Amino acid sequence: GYSSAASDVYKRQELYTILHNAVNSLPSAEKDVIIQHFFLNKSYNAISIGSGITENELIRTIRKAIRTLRKNKKLYKSYLSQ
């Protein structure tokens, strides 16, 4: 019913807010590459050229950011409740 759909929208908005806050709390280099790759769909090559770092450094930075995001208890709990 309607209340179920409204509840789903609310949960998605809440998860988006928690994800947004978690990404924003990352160090700027990590935040920048996460946004560019996952939200702006830029390739590793494009990000690497634009930022002046090697693709290997980029991949290490993304992995480090993902590890940090996975440790975010609020984000983790929100994701599990979906």
Determine the 3-state secondary structure of 37 from DSSP: helix
pLDDT category of residue 10 using cuts at 50, 70 and 90: confident
* Vertex 12: Cα angle to 73 and 40 (nearest 5): 85
pLDDT tops 70 at residue 46: yes
Contacting residues for 23 by C-beta, under 8 A, at least 6 apart: 31, 34, 35, 69
What would the two tokens of residue 24 be? Answer: 């924003």
Cβ atoms within 10 A of the Cβ of 31, count?
15
Cβ proximity of 78 and 21 under 8 Å: no
**Cα 54 → chain centroid:** 21
Q: pTM, whole model, 2 decimals?
A: 0.79
pLDDT tops 60 at residue 1: no
